[in-house]
Every structure is written in structure tokens, then in C-alpha cells.
Structure 1
Amino acid sequence: MNFASDNIAGVHPRIMEALQSANAGFSPSYGADDLTASLEARLKDIFETDLAVFPVATGSAANCLALSALSPPWGAIYCHDHAHIFDDECCGPEFYTGGAKLYPVEAEHGRLTVEGLRAGLGRFKAGFDHHPQPAAISLTQCTEWGAVYPVDRIAALSDLAHAHGCRVHMDGARFANALASLDVSPAEMTWKAGVDALSFGATKNGAMAAEAVIFFDTDLAKDFIYRRKRAGHLFSKMRFLSAQLLAYLEDDLWLENARHANRAAARLHDGLARLNSVAFAAPVEANELFVALPEDTAALLREAGASFHTMSKDGRDVSRLVTSFATGDDEVDRFIGICGG
């Protein structure tokens, strides 16, 4: 009953096979290989537009380096106060931007609101040398509280951001889960809705260690090769990152994995929702659940080997349950059974 994170799942066999295949023979280094060229062509096809793509190994690197291309050191980057960039990247965005200010604004279940963003944008005066200058907004899709931004919300936030001269970044650590939840195209959820740069995640959904920074406005990528190299993420054997991402995308494996994880979360939700002892602290829209469990039930679950994290939300402790492409119906049903279902 492994619900601590989707990070704890292993590597999907098809991705492991792709790594083994990439290991045969010799290949040009530093991204000059055929696999990396094929990855860029594949992503252009999937997103239905021209773009620039830069594989990196971690989501933190993708987020921090993407934001460094969107904000000057004196910029303000708007996010919510539980965003990964705000809580969980050890001041990496501030470091790689050279000092930009992360400014939290109103959100519901991690989703920025138009009203909250408008208030935040009004906090600092453009052109006033005493204030940080509005530079970017960052949206997490899915959010850290398991919610998904509908496309019209992304578009409304992007329109407001662009009207104030801000770029739009999307943290897509669980991008595939959100896409599967909304059943829209990658283009509709990103550049068509106003997103300028995307941190495209794969590690949580079956890869070993592979993410990518994608710029839909390719002008923003003009000096990114230097930013990536300076940060230590220009891999000499880049083909091993690209091989993972290509296998991830091939035959829609990424969506197949995400749909499986989302279905497992829905099964878990449906079983727990029948119990009077369990209350949900956030909507279940992808592969994360936040539930208030009785203390004795949580103790029984842990004694039985269940793994999950407890955190505070709105002043109360809640348990976070995360499903993955490897979650089985048996572990979901066992968890529900221990809870009294």
C-alpha cells in the first residue's frame, strides 16, 4: 500500500528497455545525438507548434532554470504559497534568477485565482525603482493539492499576466495526469491558453530521471544553452535523458500511465467516500487525495504497512495519498478495507 508519492514507483519497463537500447554502441555527446533530435521533432508534433526543448534530470532544475529565463533578478514571480517553487526547492528559483522575489497570491486548492493574481500584480508598481517588477507567474498543473486548472482558467490567468508584461510558466511535474483528467490536447492546455514555458515532467509518471524545459516562445530560449550548462544540466550523455522521454511519449505511454494512476485515485476516492469516518480536504481530480483520517485508523494503516504522508491544510492534519502507474487495485482495496470499507 504505497501511497507516499508517485516518485516511489520504479521505472516503467518500456523506458528501461529504451535505456538499454540507447546503451548500445557509441553516440555523439552533449545533445548532438539522433535521439535528442528525434525528441524535439516528436514534441513539436505533440504540441502542434514550433518550440525549443531542453532535457534536464530533475523537476527542480526545470522549474528554476525556466524561471531564470522569464524573470530578471529584480522581478516578481507570482505563485501560491504551497507551490513547489515556493516551499520545496530550497530557494533554487531565487538562486538561478539571481534574486527574483517569489510572491504568493490567493489560491484555492493551489489554483491561482484571477482576483488574487490581479491583487498581487497591483502590489508592485511597474517602473518604480523601489519595487520588484512584475515578471512572471507560475501555475502548477496538477497543483500540490491535487486540483487541476481548467483550460479557461489558464487562459484567463495568462491574459491577465500578459497584460501586465508577465510571462507564464507551468510546472508540469504531473502534466500527463492533468492532461488525462481534462481530456484536452497538450496544445490546448499550454501555448493555446497562453503558457510561454513548460516544465515537462516524466519522472513521477514512469521515467528514471527525465524532465524537459519547453519554450513555446522560442525567443525566450536564445541564451538557455548557457543557463543549462552553467547549472550543470548539460549532460554529456544526453541520449539517456532523451531516450527516456522518447519512450515515455511513444504510443502514448505517458497518457496510459497517467490514466492508470488517475483511475486508481478515483477507485480509492470512491471507496473512502462511502465511509463516514473519512473526510476529503481537497477535490480528487487526478492522482492525489487529501483525506482526514481518524488517528486510530491512520495507526492501523501504518501498522499494516501502508505508506503515506501527513501534512497540515487549513489548520488540520490531512493524509496525502498518491497513486502511480504501478498502483494495483489490490493495494487500493486493502487500504479501503482497513479503513472500514
Structure 2
Amino acid sequence: MNFASDNIVGASAPVLEALARANGGAMAAYGGDEITKRVKARFSEIFERDVSVFFVTTGTAANALALASAVPPWGLCVCHRESHIIDDECGAPEFFMHGAKLAGLPGVAAKLDAQAVAAYLQGLPKAVKQMPPKALSISQATECGTLYRLDEIAALGRVCREHGLSFHMDGARFTNALVSLGCTPAEMTWKQGVDILSFGATKNGCLMAEAIVVFDSALAEGLDYRCKRAGQIVSKGRLIAAQFEGYFAGDHWYANARHANGLAQRLAAGLAALPGIRLAWPTEANEVFPILPKAVDQALRAAGVLYHPWTDLSLPATERVGADETLVRFVVSFATEEAQVDKVLDIAKSALGRQAAE
């Protein structure tokens, strides 16, 4: 039972079938094929406006190249201090921004507050010694599995406009957030002021397919060259585009996310109902962050359940992890089965029963 990540499962059947169909015959290379053209047009339909789309193979590439288009080497990108771009990408954003810096701000549940961001920006020195802020990046869903509501995104978008910043969204779990909020892709992005999006699909059913979706046309200039220099323009580009074709067909991407989110809710509710277990943050997408008694953690690990420990940096001020507790993360994927979730709950319940009897 592996709840370590939604990256641990393979691609979904519709994606693989679309990939197999695209594999036959000869087609133009480097994105000149008809599949790539169709899928790029589909992105514009999905976002209800013309968008520029650049396909890449990893989320790190999407984030790093998107931010490089928005932040010059002397600039600053503001993000949460636990964001993926600052914690988990081995300096790739700074590398591709050619020395620009990331400034990580605190925030409960890994979310940035618009007033706090505005106060930080207003407090920055204006002298040439200080790198000027050029972009704001948020994760949707966040590293704590929480979501920015539409009004919260809009408030951050206004801060960006007022201070001349580009607004980037890291959407590694974009569809999980989308179905949870019950809104459209347009409503969660450009209609709230987002300028550029890292559109994730690998975690939700694709083999390796991510996209940089650009709403501000000025940020699209030069991205082809940035992608080429980063080794992200794939010669058989149709095999990336085809994954998106299978992903979007019949709203498969929504179905996958609904499945993962639903089982995450089942796991969260089941754990929270057990004595001595509580959730660090609300379960709003496909990640669950329980604070477990160490006896439960040990029982789960002894049974072969895989998941990761997690940091308490973004806990509310009123919450603490006790000496006999541990904060962990479970990630539910589109391929997770209900029986696997129920098995985790059974193990936890049994461990608590044994503990009570001692």
C-alpha cells in the first residue's frame, strides 16, 4: 500500500491508448504534427481564450522555465517558504532565471495571504542594492494539500497588478484543485489575474506530460528558445501531445481527480474519527496530513504502508505536534483503490485498540 505520492503509479489506460495511436506512422517532428496542433487548440478551448502552450516533460521544467520568462537575473520571485519551487527543485528556478532569487514567506497551511504579501513588498528597499520583486508564485493545491479560493487568488492578483509583478501558478495538482472548487480552469487562473500557469498532468494520469500555459502574451516571447536550451523541445513531440489528447478525452482528467479526491476524503474522515488522531489541515484535494500517535505510525509502517513524514512549519499557531505524535502525509492517486484506504483505517484502528488495552 503505497501512499508516498501520486507519482508512484503509471499512466492511465486512456492516456496509454492515445499514446499507442500516436506512435504509428511518420509525423512532423518538434511539435509540427497535427496532434500537437489539435491539443494546443484544445487548451485554448479549455481556458476560454487564446493561450500559448509549451509542452515539457517535468513539473520542474515547467516551473523553472515559466519563472525564467517572468523574472530577470536581477529580480526576485516571492513564494511560500515551503513551496515546491524553493524546497524541491534543486535550485532549478534560480538556475534558469540566471541568478534571480526566490523569497519564501510564511503562511498557515502553505498559503500566502494577500495583505502579508503586500506588506512584504512595501517594506522592500528600493535601492539598486535590493533585487526588485518581479513575480509571485503560488501552488494550487499547496504543499499542505490546501486550496486558494477564487477570491484569495483574485486578491493576490490585485497585489501583483499594484506592484508590477507577474503572477505564476504552480498547478502540479491543478485538476484536483479544480474539481474540489467546482470552478472552470478560466475562473481559477486568468480571470483572477494569473499570468502564467504550470499545468500538471503527470500526477493525474499522464506518463510524463506537463504544459506551460501563458495568458500574458509578453511572457510567451522567447519561451520556445528557453525550452530548446533546456532540452525540453522533444523531437517526437507528438508523443507528449498525445498524452494530453487521451487525458482530456471524455473528461478523463476530471474523472481521475474526482476519484483521488473522493478517496482522500474517505481516508481523512476515517482517520479523524479515530481517537487520538487529528488532521493538521483540512483535506481539500488528494493529500491527507494526519497527526498520528507514534504507535499508529509504527503499526502502519510495520504493515508495509508507505507514506512520508511532514514538516510542521505551516501549522496554525494553536496546533502543536506532541512528543508522542508524528505528522505525516498520505497522497491518494487516480489508481488508489477503496480497499487500500480501508486497510489503512483498519490498521490504525487496531493499533489504537491495542494501545488502549495496554
Determine whether 1:175 maps to 2:174.
Answer: yes
User: More deviation in 274-283 or 321-330?
Assistant: 274-283
1:123 positional shift? 3.4
Question: 1:104 matched to which residue of 2?
Answer: 104
Question: 1:296 matched to which residue of 2?
Answer: 295
- Give structure 1 regions of 4+ aligned residues with deviation exceeding 3 angstroms: 314-317
- 1:201-212 superposed matches below 5 A: 201-212=200-211
1:13 positional shift? 0.6
Question: 2:251 matched to which residue of 1?
Answer: 252
1:44–1:51 Cα contact (<8 Å) kept: yes
Determine whether 1:337 maps to 2:346.
Answer: yes
Give, in whole Å, the separation in 2 of the partners of 1:297 and 1:52.
Answer: 48
Give, in whole Å, the separation in 2 of the partners of 1:111 and 1:102.
Answer: 16
Taking every aligned residue pair, what percent have the same amino acid on both sides?
47
Give, in whole Å, the separation in 1 of the partners of 2:37 and 2:123.
Answer: 43
- 1:181-196 superposed matches below 5 A: 181-196=180-195
Cα shift readout 1:140-166 (whole Å, capped 9, x = no counterpart): 000000000001000000111111000
Determine whether 1:147 maps to 2:156.
Answer: no
Determine whether 1:321 maps to 2:333.
Answer: no
SS of the equivalent of 2:76 reads strand
1:78–1:120 Cα contact (<8 Å) kept: no
> What is the TM-score when the length of structure 1 is the normalising length?
0.98
Cα shift readout 1:64-103 (whole Å, capped 9, x = no counterpart): 0000000111111000111000000111111001111101
Give, in whole Å, the separation in 2 of the partners of 1:244 and 1:318.
Answer: 35
Question: 2:229 matched to which residue of 1?
Answer: 230
Cα shift readout 1:181-236 (whole Å, capped 9, x = no counterpart): 00000000000000000000000001010000010112211111100000110100
Question: 1:91 matched to which residue of 2?
Answer: 91
Give, in whole Å, the separation in 2 of the partners of 1:278 and 1:173.
Answer: 28
- 1:109-148 superposed matches below 5 A: 109-126=109-126, 128-148=127-147
Question: 1:40 matched to which residue of 2?
Answer: 40
SS of the equivalent of 2:46 reads helix
1:40 positional shift? 0.8
Give, in whole Å, the separation in 2 of the partners of 1:249 and 1:116.
Answer: 37
> What is the TM-score when the length of structure 2 is the normalising length?
0.93
1:125 positional shift? 3.5
SS of the equivalent of 2:136 reads strand
1:10 positional shift? 1.4
- C-alpha RMSD of matched pairs (Å): 1.1
Cα shift readout 1:112-162 (whole Å, capped 9, x = no counterpart): 101220122123244x21110110000100000000000100000011111
1:282 positional shift? 1.2
Determine whether 1:309 maps to 2:318.
Answer: no
Question: 2:30 matched to which residue of 1?
Answer: 30
Runs of 5+ consecutive residues of structure 1 not aligned to the other structure: none
Total equivalences in the alignment: 340
Question: 1:13 matched to which residue of 2?
Answer: 13
1:293 positional shift? 1.2
1:79–1:102 Cα contact (<8 Å) kept: yes
1:124–1:132 Cα contact (<8 Å) kept: no
SS of the equivalent of 2:123 reads coil
SS of the equivalent of 1:143 reads coil
| Corresponding letter in the other structure for 2:56 | V
